[in-house]
Structure formats: structure tokens, C-alpha cells
Structure 1
Amino acid sequence: MKNQLDQLRELSKVVADTGDIEAIRLYKPVDATTNPSLILKAAELPDYQPLLEEGILWAKAQNAENVAASACDWLTVNIGKAILDVVPGLVSTEVDARLSFDTGATVKKAQRLIELYRSISVDTDRVLIKIASTWEGIRAAEILEKQGIRCNLTLLFSFAQARACADAGVYLISPFVGRIMDWYKAHQGVDGFLPEEDPGVLSVTNIYNYYKQHNYQTVVMGASFRNIGEIRQLAGCDCLTIAPRLLEELSQSQELLAQKLQSSSPVKPEQPEAISEPQFRWEHNSDAMATEKLAEGIRLFAADQEKLEKLLDALTDDSGD
């Protein structure tokens, strides 16, 4: 009998939600995703210490105005390359969360990251640029997709965000499951939910069905899981990005895994009229959970970005001139 992780591989593309190369080697996902928090954790691992030092030397050689910020870009891209040396598929590399409300700056940063990947001989068809699902971020992704730069729209909590991403033709979205559940647990004063009643699971299921009914090509990748019950309930989703501890838990279970989501022929092949900016802002604003979790997520990623830059700043000072 196959374990649940192997059964899941037959139903959904399994993606590792980590920057830890050893964990990626162990669980053999097809793709991997990173974010500022995961890059910060990776930067603290002994295996990555030489990369931090190389990044600082590289940034200094470029006469970068901000050595730490430039070294951070270099480090992020080189961790991405290290991951691509292990996985057969794609890696997602995130744009600085502090740019989440600036379309032009997001486009520029994404182009910069792609240039850095090219400079170290990485096939950029294997790179997804990860952007927060703000209105400005979605517009940036629309521009980048037309330039051949594929995007992963993250921190997605509302149906309005999902609609706007589909309208923009983005390659992939990452609707969050666990963070949605966290919000409802706190606001309803409950300890948890049955997997089939989990608000995060219901949100991703709704988005997945909407995309398939209207024949949108955007890939749906469930993210931010708190337990394997949520993962089991979304078996069959296009992709699922999963942290190592939950990959381990799935690998230890021999229970039969049922397919919960499946694509069928579109029942409404015509696509709805694109959501307008006022509609988007109103509908997203009307969802208290989505409004709060998007803002919180951006703040947390920005804080970890700043911590990483401070870490590199300290190493820059230690290295002297």
C-alpha cells in the first residue's frame, strides 16, 4: 500500500514549502516555493553561510548603493538556483513585500530578479515570480506575464483576488488555507473545524471550481496548511505546497486517500466580465478576514525582509572594506 504522500502525488502536483535543501531532497517534490520568511530561515542554516558572504562580496563589487538589499536579491536568487538543482520543476521567488502597492516598482524588481537568474545561467522558464495579490500586484503580474515572466500570486484570501488574478491571466495563484482557518478560529472562539467544514478548505474549493467551470488556465495551488486534514480535503487540486513536517506526516500514513477535487468539462464556458478596480476594492474590503490577513501577511513578510537585510548588514560591517 502506498503512503498518503505517494497517493497525493498521483492526484496533485506536490510542491515543497521550504528553502531547506535537505528537506527538499528527502521528500522529492516537483516544485518548491519560497518567501521572505523561508529565505530568512534558510539564511540561518549552516549550509547557506557561504552564500551570505558571497552575496555581500558580489554586492560590493557591483558598487551597489544599498549593499545589504542588493546582497539580499543575490542570496534569494542563489537559494532559488540551489533549489532548482534539486527539484525537476519550478521555484517561486518572491518580490520584496514592501513593494506590494507599487505596480511599477514590482515590475522592475521582478525583472531584476529574472536578470540575476539569467546571469547565473538559470533557465528562467523554471522561475515563478511571487507577488502579493493586491490590486497593484495583480496589475504588475499582468504586465510581467505579457513579457513572458510567469507569476505566482500569493497572500490570496478573497474570491475578489482570485477573480482578478484569473482576469489578468496570471500563471498560478496560492490561496492560503491555514491562515484563513486561523482567523475564523480566533473570531468564532473555536478550537478548530472538521476538514470538510474548514473555511480555508471551502475557500480554495470554491476558487478551484470557479476556475474550472469557466475554463481559466490559471493554476490553483493550495498553500499555508496547518494540518494534513486540510491537505487530504484538497487532494486533486492542481498543486499543493506543503511544509516538511506535514510532508513527513503524510509519508507516515497508509490510509487510502480519496480525490476530493477534480476538473470536469466547463459548465459555463463563457467567462464573466473582468472585475473592475472599484468592484475589487469593495468586494475585498467587504471580507474582513481577507482584508486583515492580506495586510498582516504583507507586514510579516516585510518584517522578515528587513531582518534578512539587517543580518546581511551586520556581516557587511564584519567583513570591513
Structure 2
Amino acid sequence: MKFFIDTANLNEIREAYDLGVLDGVTTNPSLMAKEGIKGEENVKAHYKAICDIVDNNVSAEVIATDFDTMIKEGEELAKIDEKIVVKIPMIRDGVKAIKYLTAQGIRTNCTLVFSAGQAILAAKAGASYVSPFIGRLDDIAYDGLSLIEQIVQIYDNYGYATEVLAASIRHTMHLVQCAEIGADVATCPLKVITSLLNHPLTDSGLKQFLADHHKVNS
């Protein structure tokens, strides 16, 4: 499974990259605003700064909702760096835009996916990634993990090249369960990834090892 970090914070991205497990970054306008990044040129410069840190896969989101403007924005984002993956919303014009951009050799991430039917459309249009939002589904008492499992099975059935990118991951169990059911990618906050490091038996075991080492070397 690939690990993407869902943030626009450069320090967090560097920390995840330095850990040695980072495969990419996903961002959105809300995350940019959280970092105080305003204005089209500043946003583009920030995307470039992210690309300069990581090896590949930086999802940059279009703002438009009509076909022509999504294409224009998508092509402009793709020019920033070859690592850019253009995020397109799961709407009618979005599906058309994914088809068009894919034909131009521009990778896409179909976002705001909440059903298997939407995921099928994204794959048929040639999306590089499809992003089901499992946490938001959980919020409305729907099993987001079941959706991931369903999409993985459908894609396997027909050999779709689109990768399943589990998004809106809230905690480590989400992450581990996504790995169990075959999601290709998980995107989440840094704290979810670093939480995988923690286990009380690791802490107590290390403490005992160090104590024993001290006894025999003192």
C-alpha cells in the first residue's frame, strides 16, 4: 500500500518523507487555506514547494466545476511539475474532464467519491486514482470500508488500472483495515501514520532491553 499524507504543511510533509514511508501528498483548497496560502500564484508556488520535497504524486485540486474551466485549470496545474496529479470532482463535467486530461497524458485523481457507481465511471474515464471518502461515509452511519472493498473487487473483476485511494481516514484502524481489504493507497494526516509506530509492548520491551544492558555493562 502507498502512503500519501493529506496536508499542505511543508514541515509535516518533510517529516513524513524523512521517515522513509511517504509515496505522495494530497491537498485541497481547505488545507491550503489552513496554511494561510492565498492567491493563485501563491498556491501554485506552494504546490511546487511540495513537489520539490517528495518523489512523486502530488494531488492538486481544480476549483472550477464546468468542463472548459476544469480543463484550463488542470492543464495549468500539470505544468507546475511532472509529479502533479490533477484532482477532479466526481460530477458530470468532471468525468468528461478526466477523460480529456487522461488523453493528454495528464494523471488525474477523481475525488469526492461516495458510491461504487461513481467509482466505475471514474475508472471508465481513465482516472489514475479514485478517492472514496470513508470517514465522511462513517459520519452518516454508512460503512466506508465496505465501499473500499466493493470498489477493489469491481476493479479486480475488470482489470481497471485506476488505483483505489482511500481518503478521509481518521485513525490507524481505518488505515490497517484499508490495507487488509486491498486499497492501493491511503491518504491521511501525519498523526495517523506516526501512530502506527506505537505499541505498549514495544515501549516496555525496549525499556527492559536497555535496563538489562545497563546491568551487564555497569
Q: With structure 1 as the length reference, what TM-score do the two structures score? A: 0.58
Measured against aligned partners, the alpha-carbon deviations of 1:185-239 in whole angstroms (never above 9, x if no partner) come to: xxxxxxxxxxxxx700110111011101210000111000122211111114211
CA contact (8 A) 1:76 1:93 kept: no
Residue in 2 that maps onto 1:91: 58
Runs of 4+ in 1 over 6 A off after TM superposition: none
Name the amino acid aligned to 1:166.
A
Structure 1 gaps of 5+ residues are 1-11, 45-51, 53-71, 185-197, 256-321
Note the alpha carbon deviations across 1:163-198, whole angstroms, 9 max, x for none. Answer: 1011111111111110000011xxxxxxxxxxxxx7
Task: Tell me how far apart the structure 2 counterparts of residues 108 and 245 of structure 1 sit (CA, whole Å).
Answer: 35
Counterpart residue identity of residue 8, structure 2: G
Cα offset, 1:76, TM superposition: 2.1
Aligned to 2:24: 31
Instruction: Report the alpha carbon displacement of residue 112 of structure 1 after superposing the two structures with TM.
Output: 2.4
Q: Distance in 1 between matches of 2:30 and 2:114?
A: 19
Percentage of identical aligned residues: 33
Partner Cα distance (1:90, 1:43) in 2: 23
1:1-321 matches, cutoff 5 A: 12-28=1-17, 29-43=22-36, 72-96=39-63, 99-100=64-65, 102-115=66-79, 117=80, 122=81, 124=82, 126-184=83-141, 199-235=143-179, 236-253=182-199
For the residues of structure 1 that align with 2:200 and 2:33, how far apart are their CA atoms?
34
Q: Name structure 2 gaps, 5 residues minimum.
A: 202-218
Q: Secondary structure of 2:98's match?
A: helix
The Cα shift of 1:43 comes to 2.0
Query: 1:43 aligns to what SS in structure 2?
Result: coil
Mark the CA change 1:107 to 1:212 in structure 2 (over 3 Å): closer, same or farther.
Answer: same
Counterparts of 2:164 and 2:200, CA distance in 1: 26
Structure 1 position 109, deviation (Å): 1.5
Preserved CA contact (<8 Å) 2:77 2:84: no
Q: CA distance change for structure 1 residues 206 and 143 in 2, over 3 Å: closer, same or farther?
A: same
Q: Rate the CA distance shift 1:170–1:254 in 2: closer, same or farther, 3 A.
A: farther
Is the contact between residue 73 and residue 113 of structure 1 (CA under 8 Å) also seen in structure 2?
no
The CA deviation at 1:21 is: 1.1
For the residues of structure 2 that align with 1:139 and 1:253, how far apart are their CA atoms? 46
When the two chains are superposed, the root-mean-square deviation of aligned CA atoms in Å is 1.8
Q: Is the 8 A contact 1:77 1:93 kept in 2?
A: no
Q: Is the 8 A contact 1:131 1:141 kept in 2?
A: yes
- What secondary structure does 1:234 align onto? helix
Per the alignment, in what secondary structure is the counterpart of residue 110 of structure 2? strand
Deviation at 1:147, TM superposition (A): 0.8
Cα distance in 2 for partners of 1:82, 1:40 equals 16
- 1:129–1:245 distance in 2 versus 1, CA, 3 Å: same
Distance 1:43 1:135 in 2: 31
Q: How many residues align?
A: 196
Any idea what SS the aligned residue of 2:137 has?
helix
